Structure 1
Amino acid sequence: MKIFSKKIQVLLFLLTVGTTLSFAQEKAQPVFKDGKAQIVDAFNTPDKWIREDLFVETTFDSDGDGKLDRMHVDVTRPYQTETEGLKLPVVYESSPYYAGVARGNGDEFWDVNHELGVWGPEHTHPEVIRTGERPIISNSQISTWVPRGYIVVHSSSPGTGLSQGAPTVGGDNESLAPKAVIDWLNGRAKGYTEPYGGEEVKAYWTTGNVGMTGTSYNGTIPLAAATTGVDGLKAIIPVAPNTSYYHYYRSNGLVRSPGGYLGEDIDVLYDFINSGDEAKRARNNKVIRDTEMRNGQDRITGDYNDFWAGRDYLNDMAPMKAALFMSHGFNDWNVMPEHSYRIFKKAEEMGLETQIYYHQNGHGGPPPIAMMNAWFTHYLFGIDNGVEKSENKAYIVREYDDRDNPTPYADFPNPQSQDVTLHLTPGAPGYGGLTLESTSNQGTETLVDNYSFAGEALAQAEFTEHRLLYLTPKLKEDIHISGLPKITVKLASSKPAANLSVWLVSLPWEDGRRTRITDNIITRGWADPQNYKSLSESKPLKPGKFYEITFDLEPDDQVIRAGQQIGLMIFSSDKNFTLHPKPGTELTIDLDGTSLTLPIVGGLTKDKF
């Protein structure tokens, strides 16, 4: 009887365990296939998602009210994180744009029609009407990541929306704000139900592993957070991020606008995002915009200074440990491709786990979702899918390929690139030559500045005094450029200050025939000849005296097809990017002292012309 009773007990125990296991198996869990998180039906239930908002306390008081600023944060998570105790990692995006932006009529931009070395006429300061209601800050990222088993978090950056503080456009508080949110997700900072007072809110539903992504300004903030070295931030995928506000609004000492926003400067962007507490705006405008920015931005000389250095994330990377997957377009003339390149190369130098994705289009454009998925799956869920072991650091979309089908390369620039120096032969006002041979006594050629002619028109003109254009012979085979072209120009100006613009073009012009934007522009660059010795100290030019200046053009990876000619175009004011001084300034180029260096895969020999 005792033996039978014991058997019954064992049987009942096994039945109980089986029932428990069956119940456990029914609980929703992330699913992985081929190293990527899959959509799980139990998570793909928008009507059951838990959506809530809160205010995370930071370590700073950027609006000067004597209280630590709190950031407005929203959370979207599968209901299983509440009912089943499921803990999941976080995909986090932060932005200054979520609550609306200023809508001006053009008067908010600086007037660019004036001489160099002076402030232009004052511009207007439009007000932002804040939009959005609690608890939803944004719906971005949610439909992509929540069904795959992630929690999605958003926050408004300081001084925007319901977040307290002041917008600083690259100031320290824009790095410390997302850090505070990540600290809260890991139990190291406090969150509250209200902007003042309120009950404490804890993030009991997350593993604490965080990945950040976003485009443009929203791509800058992940980098800003990563430079703090905050624990828990495992990986970032910045898309077309602005990594230095100097490089965004200046170029080698020159006051230069981002493409499409002629006359924008950092104070204009400040007004554009200033959607925070209306009661705080007057103080923030006075302290941040009208004092700090006014004194620091320096539209007179364009020199690099402490103000700009404090808004350059390359200077802050020492604490960074998050894995970095950069994304950018080679034809992004708003946030130019150098922004990603400079951070990518520094991260490589630091030994961080790093990759970069480049496409041939303009602003924006994230990596394929499959690549992002594999990246976050590895770093946030800890799945061993090999992304960190890849022999390929660079993924580049070739000229006619789909953006979801990039070509892998060992690195960018292509390790097989070789610097090839090309020299000039005369031909103004028509076409001069661009050759491998260096010949002495080539003389000088002169152009006359006139901003009313766009660069595209100058490149297509057969004869014009407003630019100098030097062409290679027709290519006998395709040439693959990969890296940073560099130019050395020896020039004299007829005035103490002048714009210097350089385009590298592919001719003949072929509008509309290719898939990429700005088809025939290979790359561009700008510089202030007054900064020929120092980026931080410009000196007026002595009219008629020759100066030598060397600078990089924007990075590129492009195949120039056989039958085309590579053209180096040198001109002065760039209609869509620079200030517009009165036409008539003359730039004289010493041909012997001017050269172009191209990074060409496999090098370049005479037989390729």
Structure 2
Amino acid sequence: MPKRTRFTPWRPLATAAAAALTATLLAPAAAHAAPRESRPVHSYDDAVREAVWVDTGLDEDRDGTSDRVAVDIVRPREPARQGREVPVIMDASPYYSCCGRGNESQKKTYDADGDIVGMPLFYDNYFVPRGYAVVGVDLAGTNRSDGCVDVGGRSDVQSAKAVVDWLNGRGRAYTTRTGGERAEADWTNGRTGMIGKSWDGTIANGVAATGVEGLETIVPIAAISSWYDYYFSQGAPLYDSGPDWLSDYVESPDARARCATVQRELAEGAPRTGDLTPLWTERDYVRAAKKVKASVFLVHGMQDLNVRMRHVGPWWDALAKNGVQRKIWLSQTGHVDPFDFRRADWVDTLHRWFDHELLGLDNGIDREPMADVERAPDQWVTAPAWPPRGTGTATLRPARGTEPGVGTLGLRQGDGTETFTDDPRLSETDWAARADTPTPDKAGFVTGPLTRDLRLSGASRVTVTASAGTPTAHLSAVLVDLGPDTIRDYADDGEGITTLTDRTCWGPSTAGDSSCYKETAARTTDVDHTIVSRGWADLGHHAGDGRGEPLTPGERYTITLDLAATDHVVPEGHRLALIVAGTDRGLIDPPADTPALTLDLARTFAQVPFVGGTAAFARATAGSRTTAPATVLDGVRRPDPTAHRVPGETR
């Protein structure tokens, strides 16, 4: 495992301007003590609200002029009057006009002069009075920006990077989209933090991976780290469309009329074969993690089936390897913002994070635990590092049981074979509901009841040696906690939350921008099993070189499936199951054929990270019976295969 680094103490800003700014953000009684927290001392009602268009230096729409992106700004008026500079919180998004942001799908609104009146989300209401500027950037090709959407590529990333450059005196901006006077960012010190959920957070990852100066921190929420892994899993397609569909979904009508070339390049560069092409390589931010200078506060739902946890493990490990300061929250939700599953704690933590990273306040957040993990609905635990120190990989091996199709899972090598037939009508919840019952559609391997709790933390890998009876075949591997529990109902439309009618307010409001949002509560369900982690692959991509090939029926192939990272405790008395099957309905598309697959158990195994490693697994399974109890029941509705999700979709 890469060496993980803890936070290092913050080096305070050593400039007179920074010291003066810090002093003004404190309550009068606290001004003589060491600053701990920025205070709401500035007028939100009287804040400066303006728009500029930043030159990106690109001409993606091929109209012969450099593309400009629209930047809407809300900033406190008082510091500017006094000649003081403020830091920036920036959310760069493609969704400000097409789809909206947040649980209530807010869109930007403007006055007759084109200046921002309503900025989505609470960031401006809460942080502007505390001495921050809040900036909303329309990605190229969306809302009021020029250019084309290229779904995580150069145009998307440059849309936001150019703004960071301008904030730091390295770029050009103008007061109108097509002309106007030069606009200077003389009101900011350039220290920028990017934040956003889904596509917005993805752009934060992408900009950080450029190493741009002035980007001090990013807060990616449910964000993509590699666009290939959004559309494919080791060659297996995850959606029935590609990035050209997504680009068309968010582009402005003007851009849609001028961006046919980019649309064609997106379609041609992302073949449904699942092959790794230059288009995907360009959109892999993990490969560029060594350039990241910004600290990272990462938030993700462990049951997010839109932007899956597969986007967390490789990115987190790459950041750790390169010594990046990190913090992480992992919830039991699906694709949900922490403002909607842990609101008060989130606002407080985000406030202290930005104070620490952008204002340099020594508020102690760097000495707090690195990780917060939701163990049960609204029940959180912390850890000084994630995965925890002492986590080690155990190699678990499947073995034949007394009946075909239901085997055991343990440390001893098995032998023989198991055969199943891909049934695209079934999903992981169908398999888990019959994990210890022989069925023709999967091979299941189950431990006996655990004699003590067993914690998984991190990403697992399942190596499968199999032969198929057809030229194409897909594989799924799923780890399941077999036992009763109450969990967030991530398969429901709310993905683990219910929106209430009461509102709470997070800062001052104006007539055009309310700080009050509907409260939420955990939506729970009682289950008899919990899907812990899953992974998928096209067996034709067994060579691992990014290219698929037809299978020779009957020939054995070995492939290692990367399962998504997680953090889960299998309680005493529950059982841990490994299920290997074909198409996971609603989560991957089926292959061209309907193959029968035969597993070689002697060459099939799972590498699972347990806190305590192999010894912890051995202790938890010592003396347990391996005979299976009665069949467990399916307690969670399976994902709807007809519901096409997009990264920024909100509930």
> Is TM (by shorter chain) over 0.5?
yes
> Which residue identity lines up with residue 217 of structure 2 in the other structure?
A
Task: Quote the Cα distance in structure 1 between the aligned partners of 2:346 and 2:368.
Answer: 19
Alignment partner of 2:456 out of 463, 468, 481:
481
User: Residue 629 of structure 2 aligns with which residue?
Assistant: none
Q: Give the drift of 1:535.
A: 3.6
User: Residue 503 of structure 1 aligns with which residue?
Assistant: 478
Secondary structure at 2:451's aligned position in 1? coil
Task: Quote the Cα distance in structure 2 between the aligned partners of 1:54 and 1:218.
Answer: 20
Task: Quote the Cα distance in structure 1 between the aligned partners of 2:588 and 2:605.
Answer: 23
Do the aligned partners of residues 34 and 563 (structure 1) sit closer, same or farther apart at CA in structure 2, a change above 3 Å counting? farther
2:471 is the alignment partner of 1:490: no
2:400 is the alignment partner of 1:426: yes
Q: Give the drift of 1:344.
A: 2.0
Does the 8 Å CA contact 1:176/1:228 hold for their aligned counterparts?
no
Alignment partner of 1:530 out of 528, 540, 546:
540
> Which residue identity lines up with residue 139 of structure 1 in the other structure?
P
Q: What are the within-5 Å matches in structure 2 for residues 198-213 of structure 1? A: 198-213=180-195
Does the 8 Å CA contact 1:448/1:583 hold for their aligned counterparts?
no
CA deviations 1:399-453 (Å, max 9, x no partner) are: 3544xx541232x2222112112222224555221122224xx321111111112
Alignment partner of 1:339 out of 311, 314, 325:
311
Does the 8 Å CA contact 2:25/2:38 hold for their aligned counterparts?
no
Greater share of strand: 2
> Which residue identity lines up with residue 544 of structure 1 in the other structure?
G
Alignment partner of 2:51 out of 50, 53, 56:
53
Does the 8 Å CA contact 1:329/1:337 hold for their aligned counterparts?
yes
User: Residue 269 of structure 1 aligns with which residue?
Assistant: 246
User: Residue 622 of structure 2 aligns with which residue?
Assistant: 607
Does the 8 Å CA contact 1:101/1:272 hold for their aligned counterparts?
no
Task: Quote the Cα distance in structure 2 between the aligned partners of 1:429 and 1:508.
Answer: 23
User: Residue 97 of structure 2 aligns with which residue?
Assistant: 99
CA deviations 1:48-73 (Å, max 9, x no partner) are: 22211111112211111111111101
User: Residue 282 of structure 2 aligns with which residue?
Assistant: 310
> Which residue identity lines up with residue 209 of structure 1 in the other structure?
R
> Which residue identity lines up with residue 128 of structure 2 in the other structure?
V
2:420 is the alignment partner of 1:447: yes
Alignment partner of 1:371 out of 333, 336, 349:
349
Do the aligned partners of residues 608 and 322 (structure 1) sit closer, same or farther apart at CA in structure 2, a change above 3 Å counting? farther
Task: Quote the Cα distance in structure 2 between the aligned partners of 1:216 and 1:265.
Answer: 17
Task: Quote the Cα distance in structure 2 between the aligned partners of 1:164 and 1:352.
Answer: 34
Secondary structure at 1:48's aligned position in 2? coil
Do the aligned partners of residues 592 and 29 (structure 1) sit closer, same or farther apart at CA in structure 2, a change above 3 Å counting? closer
Do the aligned partners of residues 509 and 159 (structure 1) sit closer, same or farther apart at CA in structure 2, a change above 3 Å counting? same
Do the aligned partners of residues 34 and 584 (structure 1) sit closer, same or farther apart at CA in structure 2, a change above 3 Å counting? farther
Q: Could you state the TM-score of these two structures normalised by the residue count of structure 2? A: 0.78
Task: Quote the Cα distance in structure 2 between the aligned partners of 1:464 and 1:424.
Answer: 17
Identify unmatched segments of 5+ residues in structure 2. Answer: 1-19, 101-106, 339-344, 492-526, 625-651
> Which residue identity lines up with residue 418 of structure 1 in the other structure?
G
Does the 8 Å CA contact 1:524/1:554 hold for their aligned counterparts?
yes
CA deviations 1:270-312 (Å, max 9, x no partner) are: 111112x52x423312x1112x11221010x212121110111
CA deviations 1:319-378 (Å, max 9, x no partner) are: 321112211121112111121332222122112222222222222334822322222112
2:536 is the alignment partner of 1:548: no
Secondary structure at 1:200's aligned position in 2? coil
User: Residue 571 of structure 1 aligns with which residue?
Assistant: 581
Alignment partner of 2:267 out of 258, 278, 294:
294
Does the 8 Å CA contact 1:450/1:582 hold for their aligned counterparts?
no
User: Residue 145 of structure 2 aligns with which residue?
Assistant: 163
Task: Quote the Cα distance in structure 2 between the aligned partners of 1:303 and 1:34.
Answer: 56
Do the aligned partners of residues 195 and 406 (structure 1) sit closer, same or farther apart at CA in structure 2, a change above 3 Å counting? farther
User: Residue 74 of structure 1 aligns with which residue?
Assistant: 72
2:446 is the alignment partner of 1:471: yes
Task: Quote the Cα distance in structure 1 between the aligned partners of 2:34 and 2:623.
Answer: 44
Q: What are the within-5 Å matches in structure 2 for residues 37-186 of structure 1? A: 37-40=37-40, 42-43=41-42, 45-101=43-99, 132-133=109-110, 134-136=114-116, 138-140=119-121, 141-186=123-168
User: Residue 5 of structure 2 aligns with which residue?
Assistant: none
> Which residue identity lines up with residue 447 of structure 2 in the other structure?
T
Secondary structure at 2:622's aligned position in 1? helix
Q: Which moved more, 1:596-605 or 1:565-574?
A: 596-605
Secondary structure at 1:398's aligned position in 2? strand
Task: Quote the Cα distance in structure 1 between the aligned partners of 2:91 and 2:544.
Answer: 38
Task: Quote the Cα distance in structure 1 between the aligned partners of 2:431 and 2:309.
Answer: 24
Larger Rg: 1
Task: Quote the Cα distance in structure 2 between the aligned partners of 1:34 and 1:601.
Answer: 39
User: Residue 417 of structure 1 aligns with which residue?
Assistant: 391
Identify unmatched segments of 5+ residues in structure 1. Answer: 1-23, 103-129, 258-262
User: Residue 520 of structure 2 aligns with which residue?
Assistant: none
Q: Give the drift of 1:224.
A: 1.7
Q: Give the drift of 1:174.
A: 1.6
Q: Give the drift of 1:253.
A: 1.7
Does the 8 Å CA contact 2:405/2:419 hold for their aligned counterparts?
no
User: Residue 517 of structure 2 aligns with which residue?
Assistant: none
Task: Quote the Cα distance in structure 1 between the aligned partners of 2:209 and 2:258.
Answer: 28
CA deviations 1:514-558 (Å, max 9, x no partner) are: 346366101000011111112412221111111111122111111
Do the aligned partners of residues 131 and 192 (structure 1) sit closer, same or farther apart at CA in structure 2, a change above 3 Å counting? same
Task: Quote the Cα distance in structure 2 between the aligned partners of 1:379 and 1:131.
Answer: 27
Task: Quote the Cα distance in structure 1 between the aligned partners of 2:600 and 2:570.
Answer: 28
Does the 8 Å CA contact 2:242/2:267 hold for their aligned counterparts?
no
Secondary structure at 1:197's aligned position in 2? coil
Does the 8 Å CA contact 1:488/1:595 hold for their aligned counterparts?
yes
Do the aligned partners of residues 295 and 550 (structure 1) sit closer, same or farther apart at CA in structure 2, a change above 3 Å counting? same
Task: Quote the Cα distance in structure 1 between the aligned partners of 2:34 and 2:79.
Answer: 25
Q: Give the drift of 1:153.
A: 0.7
Q: Give the drift of 1:207.
A: 1.9
CA deviations 1:213-256 (Å, max 9, x no partner) are: 11100101112222222221111111111111100000012112
Do the aligned partners of residues 451 and 177 (structure 1) sit closer, same or farther apart at CA in structure 2, a change above 3 Å counting? same
Q: Which moved more, 1:457-466 or 1:242-251?
A: 457-466
Task: Quote the Cα distance in structure 1 between the aligned partners of 2:542 and 2:534.
Answer: 18
> Which residue identity lines up with residue 559 of structure 1 in the other structure?
V
Task: Quote the Cα distance in structure 2 between the aligned partners of 1:203 and 1:401.
Answer: 42
Task: Quote the Cα distance in structure 1 between the aligned partners of 2:300 and 2:487.
Answer: 19
2:397 is the alignment partner of 1:399: no
Task: Quote the Cα distance in structure 1 between the aligned partners of 2:139 and 2:381.
Answer: 33
